[in-house]
Chains A and B, each alone.
Chain A
């Protein structure tokens, strides 16, 4: 068995009085892809955002239970959120490149962490774009605005931007939900490649996508995790009736 990178133990999340997540325990092994599936509003995105403490940005949230990154509770007082987010990157549902050049977008993270040598930055940008399978398409106009790219390219740029920080874990919040089938396919191929070096937790609405790319699948429903299994087991022989109903399309 691989070592665990991320782990939650009986974690609950509250938005003010309202409880959004109930006692969720989940292990994420190294170099695996874990897909979080479930109907809208089931808490899978909220759960994903626990890992890089993005929920902190919403006022009045509180977390109970433990969220661990290499056995370190990331909600402990001594944890530096900025350092944590360098280790655990995130790709968002809505593509959100900065209104800057492609180069500046990818170089943003390294610059924020004090890399200023032009050569070093160029090297990072090239490497990251290659990893994100975007280099060949953009290498001749790196200094044009990132907003000139297509939606699918923008999302791969956002992935490159995340990779440039060299995180250990990449959290993906429905990264392909706003993209056309071809772009989606590219992103999926990319995820399978990235798995070699990174650990990935991905929220997806698309069950086929979860089946295609993930090693483990967790099914969320109304703020609870109903079941988490190896993906092939989940889609062929789930233990819980509700999971079966969902993965066979009886509700959702």
Chain B
């Protein structure tokens, strides 16, 4: 998601910085091959947009019937998620809370770590050090999520059992921990870019006033980069909310309302992944899973919206 967002950003910048090139190509494209190319490209982009819309449409159509059959109140406020029992319960509250707990836990761990790391890379680290660290951090985002899950299950879960004397180590805490690691590269790289784009003159002005380096970083550099850092956190949050496989493997798969970070839980995403295989197409259970999909879509859309709102606001501010 972050990558997609970044590519959108780059495209925006490219367009704004070189309007002439775009103007030229549209004039030249009036004849021959150019016109055909144009049409092909338009078709391709239309295709990808239409896929997004058909996914949304599909999700909504499949999910809609359950809203009227079970009712809004039970769906969102009941704590009983037992879609396969005699008296089926479709209360999604435990799943929603599960997602929230795991995500919040992940943020608590990853935000200070990620921002601290970004500050180190952009402000403190000598060039050689950051040349070494950066590829390592990028590697974090290249690891498949199932590998993270596996690592969590084999290494972190037993550690949690030993450390907190838990009968079962799969818990919110472990899920948050794994998600925190997974969200790190997003937060670090976007925050670092934001910090690096703070003008050198601000740093010089602050240091020349006899401020220490730490004071300069905390009072001038970080506030000036705030919107970029906030964006990185929101995108990292999106990553955490949407992650499925790793979370499914380490959080214990219990669809009950949690009361502490040491309890097992089940997130929205994990529910779809775990139960999709055992539902009958068109049944209530099937439809409820689609409703979860719609819910996830809405959450990530809101997060993305906030992020691009912040980016836009910064653009306007810089333009003045």
Contacts and interface: CB of A to CB of B under 8 A. Distances in A.
B219 to A, nearest CB: 7
B212 interface: yes
A165 B204 contact: no
Interface in B279-320: 320
A165 B210 contact: yes
Given A82-B210, A83-B210, A112-B212, A54 B204 contact: yes
Interface string A88-120: 011010101111100000001101110000000
Contacts of B206: 98, 108, 112
A99 B224 CA distance: 7
B212 A82 contact: yes
A89 B208 contact: yes
Given A57-B204, A96-B201, A109 B210 contact: yes
A111 B218 CA distance: 13
- By secondary structure, the B interface counts as helix
Residue from the set A54, A83, A97, A112 with the largest chain B CB neighbour count within 10 Å: A112
B220 interface: yes
Contact of B211 (A59, A84, A109): A109
A67 interface: no
Given A54-B207, A85-B209, A165-B210, A112 B219 contact: yes
A108 B204 contact: no
Nearest to A167: B210
Nearest to B224: A99
Nearest to A112: B211
Contacts of B162: none
A112 B205 contact: no
Contacts of A8: none
A32 interface: no
A92 B206 CA distance: 12
Contact of B204 (A96, A111, A112): A96
Contacts of B277: none
Interface string B183-205: 00000000000000001011111
A96 B209 contact: no
Taking residues whose C-beta sits less than 8 angstroms from the other chain, chain A's interface range is 20 to 34
A98 B199 contact: no
Contacts of B202: 96, 98
Nearest to A86: B210
Contacts, number: 66
A162 interface: yes
Interface string B223-257: 11000000000000000000000000000000000
A82 B205 contact: no
A162 B209 contact: yes
B33 to A, nearest CB: 48
B215 interface: yes
B207 A85 contact: yes
A78 to B, nearest CB: 17
B252 to A, nearest CB: 47
A112 B208 contact: no
A99 B221 CA distance: 10
A18 B208 CA distance: 25
Contact of A158 (B205, B211, B223): B205
A85 B223 CA distance: 23
Residue from the set B205, B206, B208, B219 with the largest chain A CB neighbour count within 10 Å: B208
A147 B223 CA distance: 15
A85 B232 CA distance: 35
A52 interface: yes
A165 B207 contact: no
B199 A89 contact: no
A8 to B, nearest CB: 19
B138 to A, nearest CB: 24
A52 B210 CA distance: 9
Residue from the set B199, B219, B224 with the largest chain A CB neighbour count within 10 Å: B219
Contact of A92 (B201, B220, B224): B201
Contacts of A54: 204, 207-208
A52 B204 CA distance: 11
Contacts of B320: 147
Interface of B: 127, 199, 201-212, 215, 219-220, 223-224, 320
Given A57-B207, A112-B206, A112-B211, 9 more contacts: A54-B207, A54-B208, A85-B209, A86-B210, A94-B201, A96-B199, A109-B209, A109-B211, A162-B209
16 contacts: A54-B204, A57-B203, A57-B204, A57-B207, A82-B212, A90-B208, A92-B208, A94-B201, A96-B201, A97-B205, A98-B205, A108-B206, A108-B219, A109-B209, A112-B209, A112-B212
